[in-house]
Chains A and B, each alone.
Chain A
Amino acid sequence: MQLTVEDTIQWLKQFNDRLSEQKDYLSQLDRAIGDGDHGINMARGFQQVAEGLDGDFDEVSDVLKKTATTVMSKVGGASGPLYGTAFLKMSMECKGKDVDAAVLADMVEAALGGIKQRGKSEEGEKTMIDVWAPVLGTLQEEDFDAERLKQTAEEAMQKTEDMTATKGRASYFKEKSQGHLDPGAVSSYYLFAELADVIGKGA
């Protein structure tokens, strides 16, 4: 596996398309247990990301750094700092490197650490971390393939439905947050599903 600059741009464009399609669904999930802005914030921010990807980039790290700064200033809410931090950490981790499977795992590990630190959160609190952590586990296996990456992310996302939120706006709902998917886990699933798609096509 080798993720090139072109693959990375393709990944982010596909993620933007998915967010745009699912904007209303994500906001609907967020209205149930949050403030209802996840879909619109993510779609608006990544639209700007996608529009900024037509320039020349020397390496994957540069694409991710541009993404991070755009996400921080354009997404807003909690998702801006959290996704912004994730992309910034990934960018820093792969600076000067070709992105193979091992580097990708290190990038996701750095991003997960950044998300945990920024959100003062751990696994099991019904957040995006509950997708990122299992995905990291799969990426660290030597022989993972695209299909298993997607499947891991999807199953992890579905598991947030039964969890009780203890972090973020959803935590005010306590046990009432059960029975709802976490919107940040769903958007994280889209991110990794599109990554799996790009890897599956031969990245």
Chain B
Amino acid sequence: MVGILLVSHSAKLVEGLDELLKQVVGDVSIVTAGGDEDGNIGTHFDKIQAAVEEAGSGDDGALVFYDLGSAKMNAEMAIEVVESEDVRLVSYPIVEGSYLAAVEASIGKSLDDILASLEKEFG
């Protein structure tokens, strides 16, 4: 199943989103990286890198959603460092985008199919 990674400046934001997605979709693999190393507002490369490794450890790849600029930059750099081709960073709305991706992942869609759906809906 395609995994979902949520990267945010706020731990609470991604915890809440994780809760929301699991409540509606149920069986879906979600990893979160929220806040800095102390859990305060911010982004932290090591934490995001560990999350990219975890999300990309499955066989079907993962999609990475982010909230604001430095979350994007850190996630990009982490994906480069981990060198995982099946982990893709996407610039779609984090709530609606991850919701659509979670639904499609749960019904067994492939990474490319989900990317196509996201582009059709939000591109």
Task: Specify the main secondary structure of chain A where it touches its partner.
Answer: helix
For window 42-78 of B, CB contacts with A under 8 Å fall at 42-46, 68-70, 73-74, 76-77
Is A80 part of the binding interface, using a Cβ–Cβ cutoff of 8 Å? yes
Instruction: Tell me if A3 counts as interface (CB < 8 A to partner B).
Output: no
A73 on interface, CB distance cutoff 8 Å: yes
Say how far A68's CB is from chain B's closest CB, in angstroms.
11
Please tell me if the beta carbons of A78 and B46 are within 8 angstroms of each other in the complex: no
* B-side interface size class: 10 to 19
A78:B70 contact, CB within 8 angstroms: yes
Residues of B within 8 A of A73 (CB): 44-46
CB distance A84 to B69 under 8 Å? Answer: no
Q: CA A79 – CA B67 in complex, angstroms?
A: 17
A123–B36 alpha-carbon span in the complex (Å): 29
Confirm or deny: A130 has a beta carbon within 8 angstroms of a beta carbon on chain B: no
Given the complex, which residues of B lie within 8 Å of A77, measured CB to CB?
42-43, 70
A169 touches B77 (CB 8 A): no
B20 close to A (CB within 8 Å): no
Q: Which of B36, B41, B73 contacts A78 (CB 8 A)?
A: B73
Across chains A and B, the number of contacting residue pairs, with CB separation under 8 Å, is 43
Cβ of B43: which chain A residues have Cβ within 8 Å of it?
76-77, 80
A9 contacts the other chain (CB 8 A): no
- Which of A41, A81, A168 touches B74 (beta carbons < 8 Å)? A81
* Chain A min CB distance to B122 (Å): 19
Mark A12-49 against chain B: 1 for CB-CB distance below 8 A, else 0: 00000000000000000000000101000100000000
Q: Given the complex, which residues of A lie within 8 Å of B68, measured CB to CB?
A: 169
Tell me the chain B residues, 62-117 only, with Cβ under 8 Å from chain A: 68-70, 73-74, 76-77
For window 76-91 of chain A, which residues contact chain B by CB distance below 8 Å? Answer: 76-78, 80-82, 84-85
With beta carbons under 8 angstroms apart, the residue of B9, B36, B69, B77 that contacts A72 is B77
- A44-82 interface (Cβ within 8 A of B): 72-73, 76-78, 80-82
Identify the A interface with B (CB < 8 A): 35, 37, 41, 72-73, 76-78, 80-82, 84-85, 118-119, 168-169
* Closest A-B pairs by Cβ, 8 of them: A78-B70, A81-B73, A73-B46, A77-B70, A81-B77, A73-B45, A72-B45, A76-B44
